[in-house]
Structure 1
Amino acid sequence: MQNKVRYSKGKRLKKGESELANGTYRYRYQSRSGKRVYIYAKTLDELRQKEETVETNKAYGIRVDSMNTTLDQLAGSWFSLKKGLKENTYQNYLYMYNTFVRDELGGYKIMSIRYADILGFYNELVEVKGLKPNTVDNIHTVVHQVLDFAVQNNFLMNNPSDNALRHLKLESKQHTEKRISLTLAEQQLFIDYMLKYPQCNHWYPIFYIMLNTGMRVGEITGLRWQDVNLENDLITVDHTLVYFNHSENGCHYNIHTPKTRSGERTIPMLSGVKAAFEQERKFQQEAGIKCDVVIDGYSDFIFTNRYGNVHNQSTLNRALKRMIADCNREQLANNPKNADVTLLPNFSCHILRHTFATRLCESGVNIKVIQDVLGHADFDTTMNVYTDATKDFKQQEFRELDRLISNGGSFEKSDE
């Protein structure tokens, strides 16, 4: 028995097509698993465009349900299956998605997301919401991985976020300021100020050691006495202390291993660093400070507050901010007519690490040694620091050369 030929407004309907009572159209087909699937459209032309998409998807092995799957739904699956991440990294990914992506892109159907949508989203984050390119980079890490998950599971043929961040990075390089490091004069002023006042003395060891080892905040706050070999002048770095917001139990500390193998390293001690460790031990003994806190089985942390609890980055940065302000007020009060008085810039703990890297570069230390001491996984990261430091140092030397030549054409300093 032959199937009855059906028409709609003079057009012959294909197999699976039908006109509904309300004047809209429906197409019925079976998925590879034998499941009956329906798609709908207001017009026959629109329906047939969707049919073409279905047939194309079938040819490329794209899943039938991809047409109705949203980014939110796919992200939910990705987060539930994402294993092997450190807890703070996972929570950071979740925060980035929920805060910035969900309301803007979460409701989009996966199949409808285009490169222009992603690029426009990133540009809006920078230009309208005022986010820094580094923050957008973190958001992109999540978005790109979710869309990669879509490709891997046959929801998409290609990842529409591929290369979407490249244009933003190229543009941002023209507008972002270079990360600063302290000059030698600023570095010495900072050290002298901590030594000068009793209320700052207890901060001297941790900041001096950061300034002369390049350790990250989490590495030095998580450092234990057993990690420091004062006989062989070596510091072992094999874990980091993190403080972050757990979704259920609020903010608290955890011990994590470094993100990369290069983060595990030994750092030779300069004599001043060794003396700073010894000063910290003496101070704690005299003040009766003892570390009783245990974090994930780790204890006997070196740097603690007066209650024996470990520090975190916010605590240290607040201490820096206070000392910077007090030091600058003193400098200005003592030199009211000196326009060239040395003042401390506003800097954070990470600038101390960058300053150490700069001093190494200026001293001509082998670049592979610098990479190893700093724990850089990417050689390009070390090269960027090296390039900036040597460029600044070269300019500084030429300014001095210009001053000497301008001083009567002599390289000898005047007696005045």
Structure 2
Amino acid sequence: MAISRKDPKGRKLREGENWRNDGRYSYRYTDVRTGKRLTVYAQDLPELREKEKQIAKDMEDNILTDGAIKKMTLNTLFERYMETRELADTTRVSYVRAWENRVKDEIGNIKVVQLLPSHIKAYYAKLSKAGYAYSTIKYIHNLLYPALEMAVDDDIIRKNPAKSSISDYGKTAEEKEALTVSQQEKFMEFVKQSNVYNTYYPMFTIMIGTGLRCGELIGLTWKDINIKAKTVNVDHQLIYKNLGDGCKFHISTPKTESGIRIIPMTQEVAKAFEEQRKINFMLAKDKSIEVDGYSGFVFTAKSGRPLMPNGVNSVLYNIVDAYNKTEVERAKKEHRKAELLPKFSAHVMRHTACTRMAECRMDVKVLQYIMGHAHIDVTMEVYNHIGELTRIENEIARLDSMVLNA
């Protein structure tokens, strides 16, 4: 005959329940997933039985009930998630740095089992109010979501609390517009005629003619250039980051296979490379500097070191400032409104290159290949934009024609 057990208040205790000498209640059970004998505690019997209900529900839904699992924080989950990912060193460093700077001390210490959709939404709202762009919030979301999805797959939680739209958060990124043909011509002519900046003319010609990313451009070595075949081999890029060894140059492989490509040169680009070689020879730049086994960089600083990624942008900004200053003075003398150039970056130069090629109606798949776009929709955005402008211009021309013939 079973022995009836009761607590000091005369309440009958169920199987696994116990009243302790310290006044607390405990419930001992076996986790069906792990086979472990586990115990939970409570200050009173109603609280204990609420915990028992949760445990029963978790086991029914095949959710782990291990105490250590229940104590896992979002930070610990992210560390476990990163262990499952095979990533390039540069990508891993970027992910970890973004987490440490943005997530770790904000919501990282919340237990995974206690994390609610409202926690995530409030966090995104906070970032949005702080002025972060939608792209930044999406970057963080792309770290949170898969880590929590892994917790769902591991039966730690039932649902992913980050499974909601993030479209309502963050500032809309400013659209980077390509230079117009007129702006491009004015910029290039100013550089060509400048006694200060004319040594950069070949580099800018190559940027416009190839559409290379900034890291791809500064990472080019003379081994990548085949003047005879008129091709540029792109299979790496140069970055300046701290990968655990201090801030320094590193060679990085493209993130996607589409980034590895051989770009044909136009006659103008081939000539620019020949001019660049002459400039390097005249300036007697050091060719012995090596980065991860790569040497003989095409574009270097006076010291012979490769150009810094932000150094290219600095040169562009300085040239635009110099042009605009000259243009203001000229316009004042000529009693007209100054036609200033917008401040633009190396990325805008790449976008300009893509736009010029699209304007020539280059085959869209060929353009995708040359630009190294992983997805065709990125290329199509440029094509559609060009198409819209053309249609508008045609309609205006048709309207002019109708007015003149009326």
TM above 0.5:
yes
Alpha-carbon shift at residue 397 of structure 1 (Å): 5.1
CA distance 1:399–1:186, shift in 2 (3 Å)? farther
Equivalent in the alignment of 1:2? 2
CA contact (8 A) 2:230 2:264 kept: yes
Query: Aligned to 1:360, what secondary structure does the other structure show?
Result: helix
Q: Deviations over 1:190-222 (max 9, x none)?
A: 111111112101222222211221110111111
Equivalent residue, structure 2, for 1:143 = 144
Q: Indicate the residue corresponding to 2:41 in structure 1.
A: 40
Q: Distance in 2 between matches of 1:25 and 1:320?
A: 71
Gap regions ≥5 residues in structure 1: 412-416
- Pair 1:178 & 2:178 matched: no
**Structure 1: how far apart are the matches of 2:207 and 2:270?**
12
Q: Go from structure 1 to structure 2 and tell me whether the alpha carbon gap of 1:2 and 1:213 turns closer, same or farther (over 3 Å shift).
A: same
Secondary structure, aligned partner of 1:279? helix
Percent of aligned positions that are identical: 32
Deviates more, 1:67-76 or 1:26-35: 26-35
Partner of 1:409: 404
The alpha carbon displacement at 1:160 in A equals 2.1
* Alignment check: 8 A CA contact 1:27 1:51 kept: yes
2:286 aligned with 1:283: no
* SS class of match (2:242): strand
1:245 aligns with 2:237: no
Residue aligning to 1:165: 166
Instruction: Give secondary structure in 2 for the equivalent of 1:64.
Output: coil
- The equivalent of 2:80 in structure 1 is 77
1:226 matched to 2:229? The reply is no
Separation in 2 of the partners of 1:280 and 1:177? 34
* 1:123 aligned residue: 125
**Residue type of the alignment partner of 1:338:** R
1:194 maps to which of 170, 177, 191:
191
C-alpha deviation, 1:92, in angstroms: 0.7
Q: Whole-Å Cα distance in 2 between the matches of residues 291 and 165 of structure 1?
A: 49
- Greater shift in the superposed pair: 378-387 or 147-156: 147-156
Q: Distance in 2 between matches of 1:25 and 1:84?
A: 46
1:236 alignment counterpart: 233
Indicate if the aligned counterparts of 2:219 and 2:238 stay in contact, CA closer than 8 A. Answer: yes
Distance in 1 between the 2:261 and 2:295 partners? 20
**1:165 Cα deviation from its structure 2 partner:** 2.7
| CA contact 2:208–2:349 (8 Å) conserved in 1 | yes
Aligned equivalent of 2:156:
155
> Distance in 1 between the 2:60 and 2:161 partners?
20
Instruction: Note if contact 1:182-1:351 (Cα within 8 Å) is conserved in structure 2.
Output: yes
Q: Does 1:327 align with 2:323?
A: yes
1:16-47, Cα deviation, whole Å (9 max, x unpaired): 23455665543322234443323234554443
Is the CA contact 1:54–1:64 (under 8 Å) kept in the aligned structure 2?
A: yes
Q: How many residues align?
A: 401
For 2:388, the equivalent position in structure 1 comes to 391
Question: What one-letter code is carried by the residue in structure 2 that aligns with 1:196?
Answer: Q
The AA in structure 1 aligned to 2:49 is: R
- How is 1:199-218 mapped onto 2 (pairs within 5 angstroms)? 199-218=196-215
Distance in 1 (CA, whole Å) between partners of 2:390 and 2:21 is 80
The answer to whether residue 340 in structure 2 is matched with residue 343 in structure 1 is: yes
Q: Deviations over 1:322-355 (max 9, x none)?
A: 111111111111113433x432111111111111
Query: What is the aligned-residue RMSD (CA, Å)?
Result: 2.5
Kindly report structure 1 stretches of 4+ aligned residues shifted beyond 6 Å: none
Alpha-carbon spacing, 1:130–1:10, altered in 2? closer, same or farther (3 Å): farther
Does the residue aligned with 1:6 lie in a helix, a strand or coil? coil
Counterpart of 1:414 in structure 2 is none
1:360 equivalent in alignment to 2:357: yes
Greater shift, 387-396 or 135-144, is seen at 387-396
- TM-score of the pair, normalised by structure 2: 0.90
Question: Is the contact between residue 362 and residue 393 of structure 1 (CA under 8 Å) also seen in structure 2?
Answer: no
